[in-house]
Structure 1
Amino acid sequence: MLQQQLTGDSLAVANAIDKQQSQLLARANVQGVGIGHKIKGGVDTGTLSLTVFVSHKVDPGLLSDGDKIPKQVDKIPTDVIETGMIFAGGTPQAITPEELGVQTLATRVRPVEGGYSVGHFKITAGTMATAVFDATPYPAIPRAYYMLSNNHVLANSNDARLGDAILQPGPHDGGTFPNDVVARLARFVPIRFDGSCNFVDAAIAEGPFHWLDREIYWIGYVQGVATVDVDQIVQKTGRTTNYTTGRVIAINATVNVNYGGGKVATMCRQLVTTNMSAGGDSGSLLCDMNRNAVGLLFAGSSAVTIHNDIRFVQALLGIRLV
């Protein structure tokens, strides 16, 4: 199993999650669990906790004993955060004709920078994270160049075929075939809906070198790949909400994510931030404030945004960001 590099107290919480997550996720309203901080009176205490995400909080008196969240798990304090239901993607917000008259990330652009609208020809629209290349040892001449985004953006949630057309802008934003084809689907990690762990919702599409730009609009060039801690500030640029910042509220999280049509995917080793996205932002690259890549945005709710750990994205797709 893929592992995050955790030590000390964080590792103890992670071990508790691994042992108890099945039982916790089976409780009423529970959407996920992760390593977070204990919140008291709206104040972050800085104390590590096993954070439980619920669709909505319910008076404990209305819950059966089996559905109540214990105050401790393996002597680790728990904390409960209300998130609402968590969905992958979502319908992109419409960009008005007036907005299209000015600079928006839903417009056609060549070369394509990270943050702009893209999508498989059968979906609505998502976001390009950045341009990447194969993970070959240095020194090397890359065999091909790719755009990075989500499986549900570039591979239509497993339903695409390799070689399918990727449009920029995405179809929802006026992209048409064949005029706006910018890349072709090259690889994706299949999403499993059988209750087993998924680590990423990720895909790459191969395009001409001169049409794919490694710069991310308003953020700049990725400087490296890093890990994040709870309470760290992060940033992203996406098709719908443009440039936003957020705060990490959980790491090493296991979250049940709705993909529509009754399909639910269990996503493991995820990053959870405060809400910093909307429909159409899927595929945005999450960076720390030093422009190191840390995650790939793919899902969220009205309260939180969920991101894949970028190291798992690189490993499972066989790519490099830098």
Structure 2
Amino acid sequence: MRVESALELQARIFSQIFNFIELPVIAGLEQATPGLFLDPMLLETKSARPRKPSRRRANDIALGVTEGTGGDDARLAVLVQNRNKVQSAVVEEIVGIARGEAEVLYIGRQRPLWTVRRNDPVRLGASISPTTVAYAGTLGCFCRDNLSGRNAILSNNHVLADVNGIAVGTTIMQPGARDGGQPEADVIAELIRFVPIQFGGFPNRVDAAVAALIDHGRAEDHATLYDSSDAPAAAMTLQPSAPVEAVPGMRVFKTGRTTRHTRGRVRAVNVNNYLVDVGVGVARFDGQIVIETEMAPQPFGRPGDSGSLIVEEEGRPVALLFAGSASGGAGNLGFTGANPISSVSEQLGVTLI
């Protein structure tokens, strides 16, 4: 079926099987696809799952869109969080309505990602932020500052310096502020330099910043990119001394705060006049890399993954993730923008370690 048909089917199941109610479109707001459905049974609670036992049909079943048998085909994804419901009557009914064009996946009970927790050792891909903001981004990798010789962490300007807005010397914590980081207990570094982001049509090459490590009392893992499991396991070994240039078709990987370990493919290189809304204005970037997911229905990157180090299959550094869209590309999951790691290292004056 087409993606649009899968979304229509999802809406039908929400309405007819789960008995959810569809909210009317609010003037001035873009309607979510396939519409915003709420469970009327939960409107009086603060939880998406009541503490008291319930036999409600919607419990522990999520719906999405996954890839079909080929081309632009799509299927309904039935994501089951309770193993006892995998072969339940309600799942059978959903598959029946989909006329077999559904994939049932047991995904287990979802928990906070390891990337958003306090990490010891401090890992590549973990949540970080300045102590003075309310957001969180990603620790890309460890590096050495060529000017001072200090060991440091690498991420984006908009992560470590809030788009030119954070003073040098500001402390950086892991986890980041959005993930519960505490300035009194979680500081690991201090901002020492960033490449200013220019506006007014001036072409930028990188969105990058570096923060020198301080005595934080935790171990550090400089070499491992971890997978997406709740108890993180090694997925790849970083080869920091052997960076490579991206080429179209190259398979790449990253571990980031939001989507954890994902796989993508380079779709374009040397991308110029690449416009990015960085929150305080639209900036132009030249010489960039554009990446498409290879893991539908999993996007390669999402907000909060900014700063992730992107590597190729042997763990050699390729780029620094800094931007992305929420639509277009494989599965309509969006494209990801990245700075070549050679440009980042050169402009910041750092060496990956």
Per the TM superposition, whether the score is higher than 0.5 is yes
Query: Is the 2:115–2:126 Cα contact (8 Å) retained in structure 1?
Result: yes
Q: Distance in 1 between matches of 2:244 and 2:314?
A: 10
Q: Write 1 or 2 for the structure with the bigger share of strand.
A: 1
Match of 1:318 in 2: 349
Q: TM-score, normalised by structure 2?
A: 0.59
For the pair shown, the structure with the greater C-alpha radius of gyration is 2
C-alpha deviation, 1:98, in angstroms:
6.5
Match of 2:118 in 1: 108
Query: Is the 1:123–1:153 Cα contact (8 Å) retained in structure 2?
Result: no
Equivalent position SS for 1:105: helix
List 4+ stretches of structure 1 deviating above 6 A.
none
Alignment of 1:149-188 (within 5 A): 149-188=155-194
Match of 1:250 in 2: 268
Between the two proteins, the alignment pairs up a number of residues equal to 220
Q: Distance in 2 between matches of 1:213 and 1:185?
A: 20
Match of 2:135 in 1: 124
Query: Is the 2:238–2:317 Cα contact (8 Å) retained in structure 1?
Result: no
Q: Distance in 2 between matches of 1:123 and 1:150?
A: 16
Alignment of 1:205-220 (within 5 A): 205-208=211-214, 211-215=219-223, 216-217=225-226, 218-220=235-237
Q: Distance in 2 between matches of 1:187 and 1:320?
A: 14
Q: Distance in 2 between matches of 1:134 and 1:99?
A: 36
Q: Which runs of 5+ in 2 are unaligned?
A: 1-70, 73-108, 227-234, 294-299, 327-333
Query: Is the 2:310–2:318 Cα contact (8 Å) retained in structure 1?
Result: yes
C-alpha deviation, 1:212, in angstroms:
4.1
The amino acid that maps onto 1:114 is L
Q: Deviations over 1:212-262 (max 9, x none)?
A: 43123232222410012111111000011010010111000020001124x
Q: Which has the higher contact order (CA 8 A, sep 6+)?
A: 1
Which of 293, 299, 318 is matched with 2:317 structurally? 293
Alignment of 1:1-322 (within 5 A): 99-100=111-112, 104-121=114-131, 122-135=133-146, 143-208=149-214, 211-215=219-223, 216-217=225-226, 218-223=235-240, 224-254=242-272, 255-261=274-280, 263-275=281-293, 276-302=300-326, 303-322=334-353
Q: Distance in 2 between matches of 1:213 and 1:145?
A: 13
C-alpha deviation, 1:99, in angstroms:
1.6
C-alpha deviation, 1:109, in angstroms:
1.2
C-alpha deviation, 1:179, in angstroms:
1.4
Query: Is the 1:219–1:236 Cα contact (8 Å) retained in structure 2?
Result: no
Q: Distance in 2 between matches of 1:108 and 1:239?
A: 12
Instruction: Classify 1:116/1:131 alpha carbon distance in 2 versus 1 (closer, same or farther; 3 Å).
Output: same
Q: Distance in 2 between matches of 1:280 and 1:314?
A: 22
Equivalent position SS for 2:118: coil
The amino acid that maps onto 1:184 is E
Q: Distance in 2 between matches of 1:178 and 1:278?
A: 29
The amino acid that maps onto 2:321 is L
Q: Distance in 1 between matches of 2:122 and 2:237?
A: 13
Q: Distance in 1 between matches of 2:237 and 2:175?
A: 20
C-alpha deviation, 1:292, in angstroms:
0.7
Query: Is the 2:190–2:214 Cα contact (8 Å) retained in structure 1?
Result: no
Q: Distance in 1 between matches of 2:210 and 2:219?
A: 14
The amino acid that maps onto 1:226 is V
Q: TM-score, normalised by structure 1?
A: 0.65
Equivalent position SS for 2:265: strand
Q: Which runs of 5+ in 1 are unaligned?
A: 1-41, 44-96, 137-141
The amino acid that maps onto 1:235 is F
Query: Is the 1:127–1:280 Cα contact (8 Å) retained in structure 2?
Result: yes
Identity of aligned residues (%): 39
